[in-house]
Amino acid sequence: MDATGLRVALFSGNYNYVRDGANQALNRLVGYLLRQGAAVRVYSPTTDTPAFEPAGDLVSAPSFAVPGRREYRVPYRMSGEVRRDLAAFRPNVVHVSSPDPLGHRAVSWARSNNLPAIASVHTRFETYPRYYGLAFLEPLLESVLRRFYRRCDAIVAPSESMAQLLREQRMNYDIGIWTRGIDRDIFNPGRRDMEWRRALGIADDKPVIGFIGRLVMEKGLDVFSDTIDQLGTRQVPHKVLVVGEGPAREWFQSRLPHAVFTGFQKGPDLGRAVASMDMLFNPSVTETFGNVTLEAMACGLPTVAARATGSESLVTEGITGRLIRPGAIQDFADALQLYCQQPDARAAAGTAAQARAERNGWDQVNQALVDTYVRVIRQRAHGMAPRSSPVP
C-alpha cells in the first residue's frame, strides 16, 4: 500500500481555531496526504472565528470552552453525527493528536472496529500543572496519559529526545519520530530587515533578544523576564523583541516595559521578524519539539534554550546555541550576555544553526508518518494489536 490507499480519520483538539505550531503541523500533514492521493477526514472543535482556513474536510465535534482559557475548547464526546460520518468515511487508520475525551473515544472506536490507531505527541501536558501551583498532580496526569497511549498501536514524537522520554515513561512499545519541517522561503537570513527594526525604535547596534510564541505562562515567561532583569542589572546593552499574542500579554508587558511587542505575525511578516532578531531566547520546557527554535535557526540565529525535550534535539550545546538548566536565571543571563557582547560568537553559532536547520523539509518528515501509517495497517492485517500491559 502507498499513500493513495490511505483513508485517515484525524482527531484534533485544536485543528484551526487557535493558531499554534501543533495544528499548523497537522494542517501541513493533511495537505501533503491529499496531494499524495490519500483520503482524509478531520474531526475537531470549531468556532465562528477560526484562526485560519483548514486543510481538508473538517467535521465539527461537540466541545466546551476551557475555564479561564476560553480561547481553547475541549471536545468532550463523539456525537452521533461524528459516528455516522466516520462510518460513511470508512477509514483504515485513526490518528489522534490530543489525549482529550474525544481522543479517548476515537481510540475506543478504532479498537471496536479493529482499526489501527496512531497518536502524535505535541505537548508535554504532564508539565502544565507546575505553572499553576499544582505540581503534585503530575504523576497522576502521567498515569492517565500512559493509559491512553498504551491503547494505541503506535505513537510518534517530534524529536528523538521526546521519544526517549516517552520510552522512559513507558508510554508505548512502538514509539517513532514525526519531526517538523521548515518553510525555507519564509525563514531564511535574507528576510532580515534593518529598516523594519528602525521603525520599531531599535538601534542598529543593539543586539536583539527575541521571544516567539503564544504569551502564556507555561512558555516560561517568568524565567524570560527574570533573566532580562538580570541583564539590566549587569548593564548589558540589548533590546527585547516579543512576537506573539496571548492572555498573559499584559503581565509580560508589565514585566518588560522596555521591550517591543509586535503582536501576532505570520507568513513572510513572521519570517522578517525572526530574521531581524539577533538571538532567540526560549526558556520553555513544555514543547515536545520547538517549531520556533527551528525557524530561528533557519534564519541564522543562535538559540539560548532550556535543556528540555524539544530543544535538546535541535540545539547543539556550544555550537548552534546554548542549553541551560531549566530555571537557572544566572546561567541563562551568562549565555545571553556572551552573544550580546561577542558578535563573532553570535555569528558563528548562527551559521551553524542555519546549516542544522537545512535537514528539515516538510515533505520528507510527512512521508515518514505516511510510512508509519502503512506499517501499522499492515501489522493489524497480520493480527498484531496494541499491547496494553506494562512496558518493562
Ordered by start, the domain boundaries in the chain are: 3-181+361-381, 189-357
Alpha-carbon dihedral sign for residues 70, 306, 278, 26: negative
Q: Give the separation between CA 392 and CA 389, rounded to whole angstroms.
A: 9
Beta bridge partners of residue 263, listed in sequence order:
243
**Percentage of the chain with pLDDT > 90?**
74
pLDDT at 182: 83
Residue 245 is which amino acid? Answer: E
Q: Kindly state the helix (H) or strand (E) to which residue 334 belongs, with its residue range.
A: helix 329-341
DSSP run (H or E) holding 43? strand 39-44
Which residue bears the cell 544553526? 353
**Among 182, 185, 188, 336, which Cα is nearest to 274's?**
188
Residues 42 and 59 sit within 8 Å (Cβ to Cβ): yes
Report pLDDT for 20: 87
Domains 3-181+361-381 and 189-357 agree in fold: yes
Could you tell me which of 328, 249, 254 has the C-alpha nearest to residue 71? 249
The grid coordinates listed for 45 are: 472543535
Distance, CA of 348 to chain centre = 27
At 74 the three-state DSSP class reads strand
Check residue 147 and give its pLDDT: 93
| CA–CA distances in Å: residue 383 to residues 61, 115, 372, 376, 380 | 31, 11, 17, 11, 5
- Strand 69-75 relative to strand 63-66: parallel, antiparallel, unpaired? antiparallel
The gap between the terminal CA atoms of the chain, to the nearest Å, is 33
What residue ranges of the chain have pLDDT lower than 50?
389-392
Q: What is the dihedral of CA 164, 169, 171, 174, to 10 degrees?
A: 30
Which candidate, 13, 282, 240, places its Cα nearest to that of 123?
13
What is the CATH class of 3-181+361-381?
alpha beta
User: What confidence score (pLDDT) does residue 162 get?
Assistant: 84
* pTM of the shown model: 0.68
Q: Alpha helices of 260-328 — where are they, by DSSP H?
A: 267-275, 291-298, 309-312
CATH classification (class only), 189-357 = alpha beta
**Amino acid 389: pLDDT:** 41
